[in-house]
Amino acid sequence: MSKVKCRHCKEKIDKENAFSPREKLYFCDQECYRRWRQTDDGQLDALLDYVWKLYSPSKQTSSTYIMIKKQAEHYHNVEGFKYKGMFLAVRYYVEVLERLWCDDYGLGQVFPTYYITLQRMYEEQKALKEKLKSTTKSKDKVAIGSHNIIRRKGLSLE
């Protein structure tokens, strides 16, 4: 029986008993995989997987993969972007804005423009939630037309 090393806890496990979401990626179990996905390495892996699927099969070469990885690491290490934020920005670009992915530009077609836009949107949403929490705790008067109504029940965004 061959042994492999878990990517998260570095424990040696039997290859046949290991959880493997894809080739050459082994974990003790699904819980170990879930915890690894929350680390920087796991989030980089999720970003690379998603971007890799956007490329046409003729452009899916090892040099293209290395280029994408270097770009992602540059934005993370030099620009201070988070891998999770980059992943969400690429998904926003492709799924929400429905822009076509151009194989020639890599991550540069998305960053820094859409990352910064989403970061501002997130900060605005967070500020609105905080403001909503503070207004629901105190009895604020809310003007509706010409009548003032006192809010006594808490509001929820969920």
73, 30: one domain: no
List the structure tokens of 59.
Answer: 């452009």
Q: What is the DSSP letter of 102?
A: P
Q: What is the pLDDT of residues 14-56, one digit of tens each?
A: 988 899 988 888 999 999 999 999 999 999 999 999 999 999 8
Residue 158 domain-assigned (yes or no): no
| Cβ contacts of 87 within 8 Å, gap of 6 or more | 43, 46, 47, 50
This prediction has a pTM of 0.74
Question: Considering the chain, what percentage of its residues have pLDDT values greater than 90?
Answer: 51
Is the per-residue pLDDT at 134 higher than 70? Answer: yes
What amino acid occupies position 26? Y
Q: What per-residue confidence (pLDDT) applies to 17?
A: 87
Q: What per-residue confidence (pLDDT) applies to 142?
A: 54
70, 122: one domain: yes
16, 45: one domain: no
